[in-house]
Amino acid sequence: MHDPLQYEGRKVVVTGTASGMGEATAQILVDLGAQVTALDIKETSVDVETALTIDLRDPASIDASVAQIEGPVDAVFSCAGLPGPPFGELDTMLVNFVGARHFIEALIPQIVEGGSVGCISSAGALGWQEQLPILMELFARETFEDQKAWLEANQETWGWSGYLWSKYAIDAWVGWRGADLIEKGIRLNCINPGPTDTAMMPAFHELAGKEVIDSAIGPIGRYSTAIEQAWPLVMLNSTRMSYVCGEVLWTDGGFIGANSTGKQGGFGEL
């Protein structure tokens, strides 16, 4: 079957394309024949149709980038992210969730009916449901500025790990906002990768310890590669997944299944 994922000629937008999963995602989409607009604070090495600079900590930068994207847009891949330290916890929350949310919402008017949005969360979001009352307070703030103000006022709640709280937020927001967007014919989903060998991994090892990170490896017995996470995201955003919306896809090498059934222990202390 030619072009089974139906990306040839489609207009797609990818953030975080300078490295890691975002770079791998952009390369796959180029190879599949999509018209790729790539965004990052750094340059991408992928031979995309359009490359734009964006700083997800700055709403003015986000709005300026969105203004340069010509619609209609068929699919959005939200791949940009920070690992936490050595970056500040607030910056991590802004890039990973608040800025990503602002970017996606600003693009929605250009996304076609039948289009899709795919985000990258983390297996570290395990248990996000327990944080839902707090997350709903954040979701109730619609503007970038109001969300940032809420984060600054409630840092004692989430400030111990901007990375994990940003991933809690993505998982919860996908279910919450996905229910609205599907009424417009737009699917919103995310993947929850397990430990992945990207440029972020040394920061995770430094922060939590390699033993803790390794405890989240599923029965598959190894870290994934960036391209092994990019392919599920590409497939999730494909028109072939037209009935999948508001979902979290665990791309964790079997960790959640083994953990849920007592085959494997949970995370260490983060």
Are 208 and 178 contacting, i.e. CB atoms less than 8 angstroms apart?
no
- DSSP result, 65-82: HHHT--S-EEEEEE----
Q: What is the pTM of this model?
A: 0.95
How many whole angstroms separate alpha carbon 86 and alpha carbon 94? 15
Tokens of 56: 């997800």
The domain 11-250 having CATH identifier 3.90.480.20: the answer here is: no
pLDDT, position 268: 44
pLDDT, position 1: 61
Q: Write down the domain spans for the chain.
A: 11-250
Low-confidence ranges of the chain (pLDDT < 50): 268-270
Q: In the chain, helix, strand, coil percent, each to 5? A: 45, 15, 35
pLDDT, position 267: 53
